[in-house]
Structure 1
Amino acid sequence: MTLFPELKIRDVHEADRPRERLIRQGSQSLSNQELLAILLRTGTKEESVLALSNRVLINFEKLHALKHATLEEITSIKGIGDAKAAQLLAAIELGRRLAQKEIDSRYTIRSPEDAATFLMPEMSALNQEHFVVLFLNVKNQVLHKQTIFIGSLNASIVHPREIYREAVKRSAASIICAHNHPSGNATPSPEDIEVTERLHEAGLIIGIELLDHVIIGDHQYISMKEKGYM
């Protein structure tokens, strides 16, 4: 016997109930627990739907783990039968299809010009040097863009291990590096050439190809690959 009986949704003020808050404030305002509660709709005689949702999250440790959950795994949680499990799996599948649609519409880089077009609007206006890496999949679609560091480029700062560790984490098939010259002149410096060579050699060893190193100037760019530096 518990000293504090489980709080039911009907006991929660209407303005604080997940469904009502979603309607009033938008889905972004809800926690993972509250979003799951809306999908599950009801709890059990022993606990509220919020408590049940919390147990689901605890059981799978992280929300991301639900992506690979099976019907058997979900129904093994006390209070969840086939109907609730089906609701969760349907929502997960919709999320997966939406994510796949986003992947299918990702920017594809087929040439140095494509890379420059993708990066130049942002990078040509920067007042400091930014070293950016594009992580690509096997179709040369941009999976992720990340600024590695800000400041003057030199070989001691750009560590291949940091870049390729992120590439492995992102399951990237290849990468494109880029940095800007605030002076507007995209001509490569000796440091630019040295960094390019180091990254290219490291990529060959690891098996994640450096496709190019693009230098962005004032509405101009230079491809280190086209210049024969890799």
Structure 2
Amino acid sequence: MGKKVLPLSMRPRERLKEKGAKVLSEQELLAIILRTGYKGATAGELAAEILHYFGDLYQFKRAELQELTKISGIGEAKAAELLAAIELGQRIGKASCPKIGHVSSSYELGCMLAEEMKDYEQEHLLCIYLNTKNQILQKKTIFIGSLNQSIAHPREIFKIAVKIAAARIVICHNHPSGSPTPSHNDIVFTKRLKECGEMMGIELLDHLVIGGSEYISLREEGLWN
């Protein structure tokens, strides 16, 4: 009997690339983890055998190495891979977004970022992502530009906010010239970002501009209304 070859549209890896993992069945997901089947059976068929053996995912997640090796095509190496995948999945399920600090005021954040960014020779646009308790979920550099130029689109900022379920953001960028005075473009960009955030339900708390060891808060200066 020749090797069974599925059309591209039916291959789990191809479907995952095209449509994402969420549309795949449990059998397809397991087939991707297995990678190969055994003589006379494809990875998909082996996946079906495993799921049928255990009956449901609850029983499968409680599988032991000796139990897995009773299934045709599952040796100790493949059984170990499956157990590792099960354990990793359970740990991921229990994981929560780590908190890396807390923001209590623009002054505190401005002083910290001024110390961090005062010697940058290029403009850096940073975004601080916060939850509803102002705990920092992530701090990410969104853009690094040439001197006196900072170009970033709100979608780059909010894409991450949506992904990590941030409720609020603070943006910050530096002026390599040493002056923290916001430019006209800084103010326009801030207003645009604020409006986008209001539409998405993600609050822009502040925009800090760093120059040397000093900073200016656009919120405190009332420059975005």
Q: Same fold judged by TM-score > 0.5?
A: yes
Partner Cα separation in structure 2 for residue 153 and residue 176 of structure 1: 19
Say whether residues 1:130 and 2:152 are aligned partners: no
Deviation track 1:90-133 (CA, whole Å, cap 9, x = no partner) reads: xxx7xx5xx68x53xx3211211122133222211111000000
Distance 1:141 1:153, change over 3 A: farther
Structure 1 stretches of 4+ moved >2 Å: 42-48, 50-53, 62-68
What is the Cα-based RMSD across aligned positions, in Å?
2.6
Count of residues in Structure 1 that have an aligned counterpart in Structure 2: 154
Say whether residues 1:177 and 2:202 are aligned partners: no
Distance 1:168 1:65, change over 3 A: farther
> What's 1:191 paired with?
185
How far apart are 1:144 and its partner, in Å? 0.3
Q: Letter of the aligned partner of 2:88 in structure 1?
A: L
Deviation track 1:8-56 (CA, whole Å, cap 9, x = no partner) reads: xxxxxxxxxxxxxxxxxxxxxxxxxxxxxxxx9x8428443x5323113
The answer to whether the 8 A contact 2:129-2:161 is kept is yes
Partner Cα separation in structure 2 for residue 137 and residue 207 of structure 1: 12
> What's 2:205 paired with?
211
Partner Cα separation in structure 2 for residue 53 and residue 217 of structure 1: 55
Aligned to 1:175, the other structure's residue is in SS state strand
Partner Cα separation in structure 2 for residue 51 and residue 196 of structure 1: 53
Could you tell me which runs of 5 or more consecutive residues in structure 1 were left unpaired when the two chains were aligned.
1-39, 69-92
TM-score under structure 1 normalisation? 0.60
Could you tell me which runs of 5 or more consecutive residues in structure 2 were left unpaired when the two chains were aligned.
1-61, 70-74
- Aligned identity (percent) is 40
> What's 1:56 paired with?
83
TM-score under structure 2 normalisation? 0.61
